[in-house]
Amino acid sequence: MKNWFQFLWLTSLAFRSYAVPRTTSLTKSYIITNYTVNLVKTVHTILLTCNAKDSQIIARQLIYWNHFVKIYDITNNFTLKAISEQDRSHAKTAIILNCECKTTQNLIFEASQFRYFNKTYQWLLWDFHNNNCFSHLQQSGLNYLGPNAQIVFLKYEEPHYLLWWDVHSKGRHLKANLEMHLVAKGTYINETLQFVSKNDINDIRGIRYRGDFEGLKLRGATVIDQDNITDNDQIEQILSRSSKDPGVSAFTKYHYELVNILRHRLNFTVEFRNARGWAGHLDNSSYRLGFLGIMQRNEADIGASAAYPRLNRFAEFDSLHQGWKFHTAFLFLYTPDLHAQSKKGNFLAPFEKHVWLGSLIILNMVGLVWIVEEHVKSYLSKITTSNVEIFKRIGGRFIIPLNIFAAICQQDPVPSGASSRVITLTSFLFSLVMYNYYTSSVVGGLLSTTDKGPSTVDEVISSPLRLSFEDIGYYKVKFRENKAPSIVKLLNKKVLPPRDPHDLPVYTNLESAIPYLKKGGYAFHCEEVDAYPELAKILTDTEICDLRAVSGLLGSALMDWIVHKNSQYTEIFRHIVTQAQEVGLIQRLLRQRRPKKPPCQNLYTVYPVNLSGTLSAFVLLAGSIIISSKILLLEIALKRYSNRLRD
């Protein structure tokens, strides 16, 4: 109300001195100053005028109210591109345009072409003598004039009326009509200004007046990767189903539900256009294909799908909402052969290779020290060297590795001499510590069930699992355009090799893949939220506990619900989505559309140890048998040679 009292005072002051029909420059300056200062409340103003006297008086009044004013003469082939970047960089700027100028029609068309009719620019179109402003706004080709337009049309009507009209449209590119709402109407009689009606301009520009599209048909786009899906009724039928459909991502159906919230709240309809994929370029050119291409070229007003957030896309699209987290994974059932393949059940797995190698080096050094100690002891005792004694000492030296092995196995060798006993005790303590670490790792691995099987994409690629992918566009685009080493390895080992016609195809749908997953030995890559409800219907309690998910092939991120950059619907759509989020509709949709993994009901599962898991132990045993056999043969030969010497 305070603003309107200021408005009444300023305008009354103008009309006490000058009658409206005279419309002197001073009268105009009071009216325009009032609009800028009290109605739209900006501090930056751009004057587009062809009358130097009017512009000087108006600018002087605005400067008096501490406004920054920039005057542009639009008489000589002026274009809006001539407005400096500095003048266009403010968050809120008033643009005052004199419709009596000859170039006004071209400037209004240019303002639509370069998207100046938005929340940033508060337009005042004034004409005290003719009715040019409204006719200019109705010219053909004026496509960008929508619900975000901030335009006030100021006109004089005979015999003594002054009217401020707020002008907008629900979409001129859709042949929607211009809508005018009266902000204020005043009359001048006997040198007195009286307001017949007045309204709050912020209320008129709000959702109350602009939130009913009256059944207007907007252009929509979505992604359904199926053949011969072109009819709008087909698209609506597929997207409205709550169950999984081939070639339709889970986030597409979620964003279709958001479109439903918008069209029910704003009262519009949608004519959908189907794209088979999301992204891509035509023959390595900059021409975008798929859903992103449609939205970038402004061929759709709203999309029933979303885009992966990338830095290079922020300059091309506006984001309405980020709610759906895109997350995909390889789904497979754990089997014991995967346990061995991932080295979780390997006999040598508790220690890494360098630990085993370091242990062997240390034990060899201990054996070498022991042998040197025996040599020194023999030298100090000055034992006479006969052939028999030599062979005894040789046999004693062969006993040293056995004593070390006995100490490692926590047996009780009884060497002679204090130094030998210290070596034996040290070896025993070393083996005790290592044995503790080894057994704790084994027991911990047996008690842990969540880590069994491949846990990374590289391990999945190296595993014996046969891989398959959901038959949907983004996998094919990724395999075609991404040349990362892991992707190349995946293609060479799992995707490109030929398959049996009766085997699971590389690209298939979830319904066809589930029987193979249940059989084991297969992994299917898809959105987890699509697979969990279907798997819960088929898998047993034990199989649910064996279900594993390995993510990392496709990045996980919040998907952007996008419209064209600087779309005329960005602000109003964001407003409705924010309201839906505040009342809990978005959270309810996410709970419905993002089911969790079925819980494991079994406390534990006993997995049998297979031959591949114990292969290293059998190799060690076989090696030990071979070595012991050779030692036995050597002992037999030494015994025979000793007997010959004795004879």
Domain presence at residue 527: no
pLDDT tens string 344-394 = 455 666 667 777 787 778 777 777 777 777 666 666 665 444 444 544 444
Domain presence at residue 574: no
Are 187 and 38 in a shared domain? yes
Q: What is the pLDDT of residue 128?
A: 74
Domain presence at residue 309: yes
Cis peptide before 159 (omega within 30 of 0): yes
Looking at the 3D structure of the chain, how many domains does it have?
3
- Does the pLDDT of residue 609 top 80, yes or no? no
Are 233 and 309 in a shared domain? yes
Q: What is the pLDDT of residue 415?
A: 65
Q: What angle do CA 329, 334, 336 make, to 5 degrees?
A: 145
Are 200 and 290 in a shared domain? no
3-class secondary-structure state, position 589: helix
Q: What is the pLDDT of residue 76?
A: 78
Q: What is the pLDDT of residue 301?
A: 95
Domain presence at residue 129: yes
Neighbouring residues of 367: CB distance < 8 A, sequence distance ≥ 6: 400, 401, 404
CA distances from 598 to 328, 334, 540, 593 (A): 16, 15, 11, 15
Structural domain boundaries enclosing 245? 215-326
- Does the pLDDT of residue 11 top 50, yes or no? no
Domain presence at residue 452: no
Are 112 and 62 in a shared domain? yes
pLDDT band for position 17 (cuts 50, 70, 90)? very low
- Does the pLDDT of residue 1 top 50, yes or no? no
The residue out of 385, 411, 431 marking a domain boundary is 431
Over residues 594-598, mean pLDDT: 90
The residue out of 431, 448, 467 marking a domain boundary is 431
Using an 8 Å Cβ cutoff, are 550 and 456 in contact? yes
Are 182 and 257 in a shared domain? no
Are 37 and 107 in a shared domain? yes
The residue out of 148, 175, 205 marking a domain boundary is 205
DSSP string for residues in 202-253: HHHTSHHHHS--TTEEEEEEEE--STT---HHHHHHHHH-SS--TT--HHHH
pTM for the model stands at 0.76
Place of tokens 């290293």: 616
Domain presence at residue 155: yes
SS (H, E, C) 137-163: HCCCCCCCCCCCCCEEEEEEECCCEEE
Q: What is the pLDDT of residue 445?
A: 60
Using an 8 Å Cβ cutoff, are 179 and 140 in contact? no
Q: What is the pLDDT of residue 522?
A: 93
Cα dihedral value 239, 240, 243, 249, nearest 10: 20
pLDDT tens string 140-192 = 888 899 999 999 988 877 777 778 899 999 999 999 999 999 988 877 666 55
Q: What is the pLDDT of residue 606?
A: 58
Mean predicted lDDT score pLDDT of the chain: 81
Over residues 194-210, mean pLDDT: 84
Q: What is the pLDDT of residue 85?
A: 83
Structure-model confidence comparison of residues 359 and 240, the more confident one:
240
Q: What is the pLDDT of residue 240?
A: 93
Structure-model confidence comparison of residues 79 and 32, the more confident one:
79
Task: Residue 229: give its domain's CATH number.
Answer: 3.40.190
pLDDT tens string 477-505 = 888 888 888 899 999 999 888 888 889 99
Over residues 463-474, mean pLDDT: 91
Are 121 and 54 in a shared domain? yes
Enter the tokens of residue 16: 């006490």
Q: What is the pLDDT of residue 634?
A: 84
pLDDT tens string 526-553 = 999 999 999 999 998 888 888 999 998 9
Are 46 and 188 in a shared domain? yes
Weakest mean pLDDT among 266-270, 366-370, 639-643: 366-370
- Give the number of C-alpha atoms closer than 13 A to the C-alpha of residue 19, restricted to the C-beta side: 8
pLDDT tens string 27-58 = 666 677 777 777 788 889 898 988 888 788 88
The C-alpha atoms of residue 469 and residue 32 are separated, in whole angstroms, by 64
Are 388 and 273 in a shared domain? no
Helices 353-381 and 387-408, packing angle to 10 deg: 150
pLDDT tens string 109-118 = 999 999 999 9
Are 29 and 164 in a shared domain? yes
Domain presence at residue 311: yes
Are 163 and 219 in a shared domain? no
Amino acid identity at 634: L
Q: What is the pLDDT of residue 321?
A: 94
pLDDT tens string 186-200 = 776 665 556 678 888
pLDDT tens string 414-464 = 666 666 667 777 777 777 777 777 777 766 665 555 557 788 899 899 888
Closest CA to 252 of 562, 550, 511: 562
pLDDT band for position 613 (cuts 50, 70, 90)? low
Task: Residue 143: give its domain's CATH number.
Answer: 3.40.50.2300
Are 100 and 130 in a shared domain? yes
Domain presence at residue 297: yes
Q: What is the pLDDT of residue 262?
A: 96
3-class secondary-structure state, position 615: helix
